[in-house]
């Protein structure tokens, strides 16, 4: 469809008009050459008649020569006028093609601009940000907090575990199995726990023993 608009077929009437103009120019060119030949012939006859002293014939030949010259000029001007019309028709065809192409491209640009104008672009950006925010919120809800969601309080167990670790550090006996040490390794970037003094550790152990009746 776009191709047809950009490059429409020439109508039959336009083709016939162009062919008729070219044919007319061809016929006029033949006539122009013919009258030019006759004009030169009449002038030569006039010169011969004048040499022979026959001024009447010379005068008649010059009259013919003038007539042939007039027709030659007239037909030549006709050819020039028709050629001008042909040039104008060709230019009009070009202008028509360009106008059609611009009209088609303008229509396409209008369709594209309807979806890519600044206001529409901002609307799309706002919508995208809103969707991203909703997705992030949904992800947070799905991930949740296991301790809160399960309703299990592990603070007491955590305190007992810390107590066992303190007692283990004081006695020098590991409480974590060797096969789990690698799994509990937090990497080199983790900060080391502050080193407590020996007296302070003993005080804490004694205090824990009293609390646990050990």
C-alpha 155, offset from chain centre: 62
pLDDT at residue 204, rounded to an integer: 74
Domain ranges of the chain: 2-120, 154-176+194-214
Q: Which has the closest alpha carbon to 49: 39, 38, 58, 36?
A: 58
Chain segment 53-84, per-residue pLDDT in tens: 999 999 999 999 999 999 999 999 999 999 99
Q: Radius of gyration of the chain from Cα atoms?
A: 55
Environment class of 46 (CB within 10 Å of its CB; exposed 0-12, middle 13-18, buried 19+): buried
C-alpha distances out from residue 88 to 25, 64, 77, 78, Å: 15, 36, 17, 15
pLDDT at residue 3, rounded to an integer: 45
pLDDT at residue 145, rounded to an integer: 67
Q: At what angle do helices 198-212 and 155-171 cross, to 10 degrees?
A: 130
pLDDT at residue 180, rounded to an integer: 46
Give the H or E element holding residue 145.
none
Main-chain dihedrals φ then ψ at residue 197, nearest 5 degrees = -70, 155
Chain segment 183-192, per-residue pLDDT in tens: 444 444 444 4
pLDDT at residue 173, rounded to an integer: 54
Q: Do 52 and 89 touch, CB atoms closer than 8 A?
A: no
pLDDT by 10-residue block (mean), the chain, 214 residues: 48 78 92 93 92 91 93 93 90 90 88 77 85 86 68 69 75 54 46 54 71 60
């Amino acid at each position: 469809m776009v191709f047809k608009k950009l490059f429409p077929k020439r109508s039959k009437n336009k083709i016939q008009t162009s062919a008729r103009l070219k044919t007319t120019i061809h016929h006029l060119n033949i006539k122009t050459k013919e009258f030019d030949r006759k004009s030169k012939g009449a002038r030569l006859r006039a010169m011969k008649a004048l040499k022979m002293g026959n001024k009447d014939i010379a005068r008649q030949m010059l009259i013919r020569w003038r007539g042939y010259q007039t027709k030659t000029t007239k037909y030549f001007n006709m050819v020039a006028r028709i050629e001008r019309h042909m040039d104008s028709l060709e230019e009009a065809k070009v202008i028509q093609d360009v106008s059609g192409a611009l009209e088609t491209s303008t229509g396409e640009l209008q369709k594209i601009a309807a979806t890519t104008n600044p206001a529409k672009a901002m609307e799309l950006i706002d919508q995208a940000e809103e969707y991203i925010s909703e997705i992030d919120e949904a992800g947070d809800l799905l991930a949740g907090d296991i301790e809160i969601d399960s309703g299990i309080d592990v603070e007491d167990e955590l305190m007992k575990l810390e107590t066992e670790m303190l007692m283990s550090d004081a006695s020098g006996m590991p409480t974590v199995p060797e096969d789990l040490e690698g799994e509990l390794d937090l990497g080199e970037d983790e900060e080391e726990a502050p080193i407590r003094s020996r007296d302070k550790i003993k005080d804490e152990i004694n205090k824990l023993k009293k609390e646990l009746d050990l």
